[in-house]
Amino acid sequence: MKTLILTISLAVAATFASAQKPASASDKDTLDKKSAIEVAVLQHKSDQLTLLMEKEPGELVKIKVYEDNKILYSQRVKKESSARITYDISNFPDGNYVVEVIKDKDVVYKAKVSKGSVALADNQ
């Protein structure tokens, strides 16, 4: 049941998440591997982000949140095969942020989000 809910959430997020970067050739190669990682970032209100992730158990990934190339938050996830992590960004100033999921030094997912009345910049 948990997998079904996560799969549906990922499908909805993929449909409506305009913040996700377009797939490039290197992204496609990453997704073609057996140990593909599925990720979606959902923004609730303007002060919460939820990261949904499916991966192979034991596969190490790093999650980082940046503002202007400065790391504000970093977390390692290894044991879990699926994760639902909610970040409270209410203490962050209004602005644009980048969420990255990194595996083996490669960014496998990148999303841009904003907090407050600041609009997302096109070139970040």
Number of independent structural domains in the chain: 1
Residue 82 amino acid letter = S
For the sheet containing 95-103, what is the strand order?
70-77, 61-67, 95-103, 106-115
User: What pLDDT is stored for residue 2 in this prediction?
Assistant: 47
CA nearest to 55, candidates 41, 36, 74, 40: 36
CATH number, residue 93: 2.60.40.3080
What is the rounded CA–CA span in Å between residue 78 and residue 17?
A: 25
Q: Is 103 contained in some domain? A: yes
* pLDDT score at 120: 52
Torsion of CA 73, 38, 17, 117, to 10 degrees: 0
What per-residue confidence (pLDDT) applies to 118? 57
Domain assignment present for 123: no
Q: Which residues in the chain come in under a pLDDT of 50?
A: 1-34, 122-124
Rounded Cα distance, 102 and 74, in Å: 11
Residue 121 lies in a domain: no
Does residue 24 lie within any of the structural domains? yes
**What pLDDT is stored for residue 52 in this prediction?**
92
Sign of CA dihedral 23, 58, 53, 111: negative
- Predicted confidence at residue 102, as pLDDT, reads 94
- For tokens 């797939």, the residue is 23
Residue 122 lies in a domain: no
**pLDDT computed for residue 117 by the predictor:** 65
**Residue 124 covered by a domain:** no
Position 27 in a domain: yes
Question: In terms of residue numbers, what domain contains 20?
Answer: 2-115
Model pTM above 0.85 = no
Residue 7 belongs to some domain of the structure: yes
Phi then psi for 46, rounded to 5 degrees? -120, 5
φ, ψ for residue 75, nearest 5 deg: -145, 145
